[in-house]
Chain A
Amino acid sequence: MGRTRNFYLQFGFTLLVCSFLIVPVIMSVMAGITENFFKGIASGVTLKWVWQVWDLYADTIFLSMLIAIACLACTIVLGVPAAYVLSKRQGAVARAIEELLTLPLAVPGLAIALALIVTYGGFRDFRASWLFILIGHVLYTLPFMMRSVLAVLSSADFRTLEEGAASLGAGFWRRFFDIVIPNCRSGILAGSLMVVTLSMGEFNITWMLHTPENKTLPVGLADSYASMRLEVGSAYTVVFLVMIIPLLIALQKWGQPRKTRPVVEEPELPSGGRQGGKTDG
């Protein structure tokens, strides 16, 4: 099949979109290792901005890692059992719980943070600790863990597996830990990658909840963009990219646990009918 003019037009457009997304990334990488960005790369290549970032902001990197790992632990402990329960029950109570747990996705982070501050801001020690930030992150990432695990739970035939185990005499908890959890691994992995990536980059909630002693990486980034020279901000961005790229690659590789989806009546019938109507008109 020969390429038509149409093909090249769309190809060109897509290349343009791609460069819109990627050129600024390349520019900031270059700015981060250039002696003086205003004069250009000819002024010399240096790592001094990266070292400066390390001196100024290393603690933000460690805090972000700590929070991401703690957040991951919380979402696994809280989210995996919840996903299992929701996969087994579809009653009104289960629906209400699911609604409640996914609601943080629909509410802007700023509102969640404000709500937390007006409710728990009075507990000084709690307010000042990183645990306060952790709570915001857990609320925000929990739905992603649950969705990944639910996708696996609804695709594999867990009922047969469980019934088999039950007929062999395995009790509820034995089945949960020995059958359900191990078979959810791909969902837990995908969810974990998502949770860590989102927690590392979370800003909307964190900015309101952070204190000068507890700055995460994105908070530090905002700080450096506002108060440091462009090269330092760029170098800091490069550090963030270096940390996030392995996660992204892993996400592309293992991030899709959904083989089949629970949706039943999606295919031809409804859309086919509607199209018939539209083409006529």
Chain B
Amino acid sequence: MKDRELPSLVVLVLPVVVVALAFFLLPLVRLTMIAGSGEDGLGAYLAVVTTPRYFESLLATTLLSAGVTFATLAISAVSGLFLERNRFPGRNLLISLLTFPLAFPGVVVGFMVIMLAGRQGLIGDITKFLTGDKLVFAYSMAGLFVGYVYFSIPRVILTIMAAAEKLDPALEEAARSLGASPWRVTRDVILPALKPAFIASGAIAFATAMGAFGTAFTLATNIDVLPMTIYTEFTLRANIAMAAALSIVLGIITWLVLTVSRSLAGSTVAAAG
């Protein structure tokens, strides 16, 4: 019976395969080829590491994304665990508010950072009132950092809460009955058990930060993160081969991070951009 079904199954899956091949795989192959067809040929790939401008951009983006990932994981672990393990009035409201920005695109997140730390922002007003100096950092790497953390918190919190919900309370009770302090229970029982969730959501946060474009675009066009560099190469310098090479390198990095994390965490929790 199974084999009699095969032709029908092929008919069902064929359209999506054709679309994916024609509009995704073929274009990606073409992009890879174009990257090697510029003045320097395949040297364009080499230029990603040998040209200081590109390499610094790659390095800065990687460091920024790593910092964002760790900050988001730390913040979300504290709040996510707290919300999952305590019941109090207003808890559902808090969860709704914390996950509210889930659907904000990067551009809107950039605008939120301007609201907080821009020229007419809240932090500027508060620091001016307190110290007389206006603290404005929205239009820099620091602003981008804040924006990416803002963007990632809702996603990571949801993953951590879902994982914490499935924890086996017996393990914790065992540890406690053996005399472990709350801090030791957290460190030795809860956090290790949440490791797959940390790896999965951390990888998504990292990959998203590496490839994010909207927030940087809103905050300033002269922040040198890789997506901005690619955009500048493509539009202002019309250096299509270099833009293609940088995109391919960026794509390989994010794909690698997600694939490795998936095999480490063993689940298929996946990204959103």
Interface of A toward B, CB cutoff 8 Å: 6-7, 10-11, 13-15, 17-18, 20-25, 27-28, 31, 37-38, 77-79, 81-82, 84-86, 88-89, 97, 100-112, 114-116, 118-120, 135, 138-140, 142-144, 147, 166, 172-173, 176, 197-198, 200-204, 207-208, 218, 221-222, 225-226, 230, 233-234, 237, 240, 244, 247-248, 251-252, 263, 266-268, 271-272, 274-275, 278-279
Contacts and interface: CB of A to CB of B under 8 A. Distances in A.
Given A6-B182, A173-B8, A204 B115 contact: no
27 contacts: A13-B78, A23-B116, A28-B112, A82-B17, A100-B20, A100-B21, A101-B16, A103-B255, A108-B247, A109-B211, A110-B211, A119-B31, A120-B27, A144-B272, A198-B272, A200-B103, A204-B212, A204-B213, A207-B213, A244-B103, A248-B102, A252-B96, A263-B266, A263-B267, A271-B192, A272-B171, A279-B189
A24 B106 CA distance: 14
Nearest to A173: B8
B214 A138 contact: no
A159 to B, nearest CB: 12
Contacts of B251: 106-108, 111
Nearest to A268: B168
Contacts of A143: 270
A24 B116 contact: yes
A118 B30 CA distance: 7
A124 to B, nearest CB: 17
A226 B83 CA distance: 38
A207 B214 contact: yes
B115 A31 contact: yes
Contact of A118 (B9, B34, B106, B150): B34
Contacts of B75: 17
Given A21-B153, A108-B250, 4 more contacts: A14-B98, A115-B27, A119-B31, A279-B188
A244 B15 CA distance: 31
A195 B257 CA distance: 24
Given A13-B79, A103-B255, A240 B108 contact: yes
A14 B153 CA distance: 12
Contact of B271 (A14, A17, A105, A208): A105
A222 B218 contact: yes
B111 A233 contact: yes
Given A221-B107, A233-B111, A81 B13 contact: yes
A77 B154 CA distance: 30
B28 A115 contact: yes
B120 interface: yes
B193 interface: yes
A58 to B, nearest CB: 18
A110 B214 contact: no
A108 B227 contact: yes
B82 interface: yes
Contacts of A222: 107, 214, 217-218
B122 interface: yes
B254 A97 contact: no
Given A17-B75, A114-B243, A203 B100 contact: no
A225 B111 contact: yes
A271 B171 CA distance: 11
A91 to B, nearest CB: 11
List the 9 closest A-B pairs by CB distance, nearest first: A108-B211, A115-B27, A81-B12, A111-B247, A201-B105, A24-B112, A24-B115, A119-B27, A10-B82
B141 interface: no
